[in-house]
Structure 1
Amino acid sequence: MEHRLPYSPSVRRRRLSAELRRLRESCGMTAAQAAGRAGWPQSKVTKIELGERKNVTVQDLAVLCEVYGVHDPKVREALEKLARDAKQRGWWSKYKDVFTDLLPDFETEARIIRTYECQVVPGLLQLPEYIEAVFRGGQVHEPDVIERAVAARLRRQEILNRFDPPELWAVLDEAALRRRIGGPEVMRKQLQHLIHMAARHNITIQVVPFGAGEHAALVGSFVILDFPAALDPSLAYAETYTASLMMETTAELTRYNAVFGHLQGSALSAAESVKLLETVMSQLE
């Protein structure tokens, strides 16, 4: 049986942009020079290379290939396929009222997902009852709004159950285990679910205990996404009340990777973390 993994249109758009930028730079051209030869405004070339132009047409690619001297039909065909893939819509487009960012899009093609959560269980590991309580957050919402939010997050979790799933490395602050989201019974089920998920070959769960004191991630939660293809650089993601930030510069990623490394050092081992989960669960009874 053939297993076809879903792909991320946003990842393909980034890859197309990076490849076109590489082709331009290999010719020793500036964006202004390339635009001049193509008969375009410079802003068009810049937007394509920044991934801000979602619809890069076959005609656009043909013009750029002529400008950059790309005559290999296989290279042109590969660029056209990236452009076609980048225009597709993923399942998450049906939940635009729930998702305010492209995290589910990028998660689809990530090879490794590293996440730190200081207040709640990571979204990829949440049970439906827990998700509902998180979205309510002490506020009153219409039932259909909550239902869509739960459905969207459960759909997002399917990447962990597919053929050849990504590796998930989750570091949680002990506060995320102690906070009784949804009440004792919901938390008991959620903690048992974490213990169950921690037994999977592709999932590692570590807990930073209160006893660790200060640590490198006191500022807040974040996610780091690593991709299998060399043309797809890693991303760091952080969420605020009003915006979601996607960071991809070398300096930003170096910082986030260092922080995650320090967190691993502050956290209990995977086996010790499961024991703490069991302890917290027993204290709920």
Structure 2
Amino acid sequence: MPAAKELDPLRSLSTLAGKMLRNRRRAAGLTQQQLADRIPLSQSMIAGIELGKQVPSAQTAQAIDDAVGAAGELAALWHHVRRGLQQRVLYPVWAHGYLEAEAEATRIQHFANLFPGVTQTEEYARAIFEAANPLFGGDIEEKVEDRMARKVILDRPDPVWFWSILDESALYRVVGSHQVMCAQLTHALELAERPRVTFRILPYDRGMPGGVVSIGAILLLSRPGKNEAVYWESGLNGALLETPSEVGVYRAFYDHLELEVLPPKASTELLRKAREEHHAHCTHH
């Protein structure tokens, strides 16, 4: 069960939705029982929703929204609460802070030996979750669905600036199958055509700053009105760091790493070469 502190943002949002419902219901001249009869629900359920202690299902949320004339505003709030609660279940506790930071970030700088989550195809993500399932468990399809939903940060009207440095091994290590890898590399090449998405490759023959051999994944996040944050993950654990002294170490690492990587054009050519030569039987050319 997540700590109470971690649930505060969701509780606050649920409480806000409840207060809005109460105001809308009263403005419509309805008692709790009258509103409950329209849905239909029990009066106690309506009371719990107004107190922020109950979160309605998608269908019920829309019915309540329609009944009080909220024009989708309440349904949208409850959607965010439900999705947040689902993520608490789908992701380990150390990732919860990152998911919130990712959603509000204006720039993300990534480094790992796997393609980052928001740039993954369904098949690539599913292969990763299937491989991890014996250790971590959980519903694979729910995890895939949620990961695909997170791609909204690349597709919104003002998309995040997303810069990824990939260890060269990410291009060749087979995740799922050669066909899955071909589709993933094709997707990365398509994303790289967008002005705010960049992939750069750290070649095998280049070292990492500080003699680091492997550090898992790191992501540096810039957010409006907040200090830069860094998220690191090694598979079995991770953390979101916001203390300037801690973030500074990872910022220095990333800045030095950028001196070793291939420029964007050469990186794109290596992505294409890996797809055509190493995953030769794919059908996405």
1:1-285 equivalences in 2 (<5 Å): 9=9, 89=81, 91-100=83-92, 101-102=95-96, 103-118=98-113, 120-137=114-131, 145-216=139-210, 218-220=213-215, 221-229=217-225, 232-283=226-277, 284-285=279-280
Q: Secondary structure at the match of 1:265?
A: coil
Counterparts of 1:160 and 1:89 in 2: how far apart (Å)? 22
Q: Percent identity?
A: 28
Q: RMSD value over aligned CA atoms? A: 2.6
* Equivalent residue letter for 1:112: R
Q: Secondary structure at the match of 2:139?
A: helix
Q: TM-score, length-normalised on structure 2?
A: 0.64
* Equivalent residue letter for 2:179: E
* Equivalent residue letter for 1:106: A
Instruction: Quote the offset at 1:159 in angstroms.
Output: 1.1
Q: Secondary structure at the match of 2:269?
A: helix
Instruction: Quote the offset at 1:104 in angstroms.
Output: 1.6
Counterparts of 2:146 and 2:246 in 1: how far apart (Å)? 29
Question: Could you say which residue in structure 2 is the equivalent of 1:60?
Answer: none
Counterparts of 2:235 and 2:269 in 1: how far apart (Å)? 33
Distance verdict in 2 for CA 1:110–1:282, change over 3 Å? same
Distance verdict in 2 for CA 1:143–1:261, change over 3 Å? closer
Q: Secondary structure at the match of 1:267?
A: coil
Q: Deviation string for 1:66-118 (max 9, x for gaps)?
A: xxxxxxxxxxxxxxxxxxx9xx8373322322122222211111111111012
Q: Secondary structure at the match of 2:205?
A: helix
Instruction: Quote the offset at 1:243 in angstroms.
Output: 2.8
* Equivalent residue letter for 2:90: V
Counterparts of 2:168 and 2:208 in 1: how far apart (Å)? 13
Q: Secondary structure at the match of 2:90?
A: coil
Counterparts of 2:222 and 2:132 in 1: how far apart (Å)? 34
* Contact 2:110–2:164 under 8 Å retained in 1: yes
Counterparts of 2:164 and 2:244 in 1: how far apart (Å)? 23
Q: TM-score, length-normalised on structure 1?
A: 0.64
Which moves more between the two structures, 182-191 or 98-107?
98-107
Instruction: Quote the offset at 1:272 in angstroms.
Output: 0.5
* Contact 1:92–1:104 under 8 Å retained in 2: no
* Contact 2:112–2:218 under 8 Å retained in 1: yes
* Equivalent residue letter for 1:131: A
Counterparts of 2:246 and 2:136 in 1: how far apart (Å)? 39
* Contact 2:166–2:201 under 8 Å retained in 1: yes
* Contact 2:133–2:140 under 8 Å retained in 1: no
Gaps of 5+ in 1: 1-8, 14-84
* Contact 1:235–1:246 under 8 Å retained in 2: yes
* Equivalent residue letter for 1:184: H
Counterparts of 1:219 and 1:251 in 2: how far apart (Å)? 22
Counterparts of 1:138 and 1:95 in 2: how far apart (Å)? 17
Counterparts of 1:218 and 1:144 in 2: how far apart (Å)? 31
Instruction: Quote the offset at 1:139 in angstroms.
Output: 5.1
Counterparts of 1:276 and 1:211 in 2: how far apart (Å)? 14
* Equivalent residue letter for 1:202: R
| Equivalenced residues, count | 200
Distance verdict in 2 for CA 1:194–1:241, change over 3 Å? closer
